[in-house]
A and B are shown apart, each in its own frame.
Chain A
Amino acid sequence: MTARTRTHGPWAVALRSLSRMPSAIASASVLLLLVILSAGAPFYAAHIAHTDPFESDVAGTITLHGADIPVMQPNNNRLHLGLTPIGPTWVPSADLLGADSQGRDVAARLLYGGRNSLLISSCAALLCIVLAATVGICAGFFGGIVDILLSRMMDIMWAIPVYLFAISLSIVTVSHGLRIGPISIRSDSLLLPICIIALVYVPYAARPIRGRVMSLRQSEFVLAARCLGASRRRILLRDILPNVSTTLIVLAPLVMALALLAESALSFLSIGVQAPAASWGTIIQDGQGLIYTRPWVAIAPGLAIVITVLALNVLGDALRDALDVRETSRRSGA
């Protein structure tokens, strides 16, 4: 055995084993790329595509290979009725992925949509984990009547299908916003979908956290801490919370994937992100009328969702493998 000068904490060990997992590196890079691309949406719209993706541009033209081409092109059906937006040109300065039925640049909208979709899903995941951790830790640690009340509340929420729950909450709030006492959220605020999505996934995250806390509470190191005169507060902060933090970290990307799907579904149904703002869900909705003529309008955001969800799930699995402290110690000790 080689003499080590530094001891490696569980976090350092986890980070090191993460950096050795190709799947973790790949999924993290994909996610980072998506975040950078979305963050660059205004730059792309202003300096590369030279369009305003929130203005309808039915009469506009684009310059492609030196020629001016109208964005909305006449149909070549027999009666030449109606207009079809231009398809993908694969040229960044001229509707890279084509235009939608209002003549707006789909590529620019896709990037703006990514901003909203990623922002909503990550904030919702964070809020959901915080709520679920509070509920799960309280239920698991205090047990008894607290546990019964919280668990039954979760069971009731669980009994309602999650999309049905989210849709009904959204429909109630989308027309007039939310006003509870001093709290007032406008109906087009992103806070609404964030709160709704966070709320509906709380039972899904709280249950594993509660289970983990219950087993931690029975663990010998908690008994040992009590034998040494530790207060409940100290046990909660020093023993339970650090040990449950790995569960929270593993849950976060998985919940974010679910939140992204829920956000897209709500936006697709026009009860999530409100027009003219974009999200991947609203772009899919824009594309559904063009599915036979200009399928890329719907396929592009669909692909973006699939790639993001896949990357988040792969990252979640990698985190789970990396953060199992005993598992890694056994592996590195062998």
Chain B
Amino acid sequence: MDADAPLLAVDNLTITLPAGRGRTVDIVENVSFRLDGAEIMGLVGESGSGKSMSALAIMGLIDAPGARIAGSIRFRGRELIGLDRRALRALRGAEIAMIFQDPMTALTPVHTVGWQIDEQLRAHQPLSRAGARARTVELLGEMGVPDPRRAADRYPHQLSGGLRQRAMIAMALSCNPSLLIADEPTTALDVTVQAQILDLLRRLRQDFGSSILLITHDMGVVAETCDRTTVLYSGNVAEHGPTDALFRQPAHPYTAALLDSIPPLRGTRPRRLPSIPGAPPAPSARPPGCPFQPRCAYGHVACETRPSLLPIGAQQVACVLPAEGRALPPRAVLSA
């Protein structure tokens, strides 16, 4: 194992799925990002942009017949693509864990929450039933579950959404993984519970030293939680950079448009929030050039070829505008 290697390095990840009649479609194209220890990175994009597929590829869980995964996914310097099933399974849960959008469907309805966490603990560590339960109650307590002893004896349907998500996180963290992938962990929760869960995720980094890959479509969640952000659009990285820099001066028109569509907290509200015209292209009908070009207000001839990621400052952007000296202006909203 390489001590200097980043915790997670994804390089030129391409996921190809069969689309019937011998054709294939690239769901994710040349996506690269890296994640260091004790870092929270946001992976942002709308539905179908390939964020969940990238996460499943990291977990080694894309087993659709005919799926091809190219590129490289290195965890602590160890290549995960092509790793055999047994080694991957040992890694999952122990080193990399994942939590989901809807903890109601992610917990088995027929067992108590405590039983499920016990099982998870006992699958990876030699623990007695009583020992596992003690650790489960402790974990639930650390996740801020009130009266964890009783909560452990409840079935998923008897808990509130927030408690279920806490239980799910407790289960994912039971073996102290160094990487937690959170796939839209707050989407199914109401706003106050959402804030609590995000708070919990931030505390995980301090208390457990976990890194978190936070997959979301909510720019507000990203702003509150993430150190760095990768914006995906139609299976490609649009922009990548530190969250505050990205929010202050988005370099990609797509990022800027996403930020513009958030209602401002101060000042006069526009009658209608700006929206991005059109819809993202289907992966099979992606234009050969910049995938955002058909919807972009700045689209021009130079966009007909696929732009590569260019560094500007701390950010990296897949857009020709900065190179042409026509970088987008800083946003005024956040400085207020």
Contacts of A230 in B (CB 8 A): 89, 93, 123
Chain B residue with the shortest CB-CB distance to A330? B157
Instruction: Find the residue from B61, B98, B157 having the highest chain A CB count within 10 A.
Output: B157
- Interface assignment of A76: CB less than 8 Å from any CB of chain B: no
A227-B61, A228-B97, A242-B111 known; A220+B105 contact, CB < 8 A: yes
- Interface assignment of A10: CB less than 8 Å from any CB of chain B: yes
Contacts of B212 in A (CB 8 A): none
- Interface assignment of A326: CB less than 8 Å from any CB of chain B: yes
Measured CB to CB, the closest approach of chain B to A147, in angstroms, equals: 12
- Interface assignment of B82: CB less than 8 Å from any CB of chain A: no
- Interface assignment of B124: CB less than 8 Å from any CB of chain A: yes
Contacts of A326 in B (CB 8 A): 109, 157
- Chain B, range 229-260, C-beta contacts under 8 Å to A: none
Cα-based distance from A326 to B107 in the complex (angstroms): 13
Contacts of B36 in A (CB 8 A): none
- Which residue in B92, B109, B123 is a CB contact (below 8 Å) of A227? B92
Measured CB to CB, the closest approach of chain A to B51, in angstroms, equals: 15
- Interface assignment of B302: CB less than 8 Å from any CB of chain A: no
Contacts of A43 in B (CB 8 A): none
A7-B158, A224-B98 known; A229+B105 contact, CB < 8 A: no
Contacts of B65 in A (CB 8 A): 144
B154 near A7: Cβ-Cβ < 8 Å: yes
Chain B residue with the shortest CB-CB distance to A229? B93
Interface string of A174-217 (1 = CB under 8 A from B): 00000000000000000000000000000000000000000000
A243-B109, A243-B110, A326-B157 known; A227+B102 contact, CB < 8 A: no
- Interface assignment of B153: CB less than 8 Å from any CB of chain A: yes
B97 near A242: Cβ-Cβ < 8 Å: no
B89 near A329: Cβ-Cβ < 8 Å: no
- Interface assignment of B112: CB less than 8 Å from any CB of chain A: yes
A221 near B106: Cβ-Cβ < 8 Å: yes
A7 near B112: Cβ-Cβ < 8 Å: yes
Measured CB to CB, the closest approach of chain B to A242, in angstroms, equals: 4
- Interface assignment of A234: CB less than 8 Å from any CB of chain B: yes
Interface string of A140-169 (1 = CB under 8 A from B): 000010000000000000000000000000
Cα-based distance from A333 to B272 in the complex (angstroms): 40
B89 near A224: Cβ-Cβ < 8 Å: no
Measured CB to CB, the closest approach of chain A to B105, in angstroms, equals: 4
- Interface assignment of B319: CB less than 8 Å from any CB of chain A: no
Interface string of B54-85 (1 = CB under 8 A from A): 00000101000100000000000000000000
Contacts of A228 in B (CB 8 A): 92-93, 97-98, 120, 123, 171-172
Contacts of A329 in B (CB 8 A): 155, 157-158
A226 near B92: Cβ-Cβ < 8 Å: yes
A7-B155, A220-B105, A229-B94 known; A242+B123 contact, CB < 8 A: no
A220-B102, A231-B89, A243-B109 known; A226+B123 contact, CB < 8 A: no
Cα-based distance from A243 to B156 in the complex (angstroms): 14
- Interface assignment of A239: CB less than 8 Å from any CB of chain B: yes
A227 near B93: Cβ-Cβ < 8 Å: yes
Chain B residue with the shortest CB-CB distance to A144? B65
Contacts of B155 in A (CB 8 A): 7, 9-10, 329
- Interface assignment of A223: CB less than 8 Å from any CB of chain B: yes
Q: Can you offer 12 A-B residue contacts whose CB atoms are under 8 A?
A: A10-B155, A220-B106, A224-B99, A224-B106, A228-B123, A229-B91, A229-B93, A230-B123, A234-B119, A234-B123, A238-B119, A325-B109
A7-B155, A220-B106 given; name 20 further pairs at CB < 8 Å. A7-B150, A7-B154, A9-B112, A219-B105, A220-B100, A223-B100, A224-B99, A224-B106, A224-B168, A226-B61, A227-B61, A227-B97, A228-B93, A229-B124, A230-B93, A234-B123, A239-B108, A242-B110, A243-B109, A329-B158
3 tightest Cβ-Cβ pairs between the two chains A and B: A229-B93, A229-B92, A227-B98
Interface positions of A (Cβ within 8 A of B): 7, 9-10, 144, 219-221, 223-231, 234, 238-239, 242-243, 245, 325-326, 329, 333
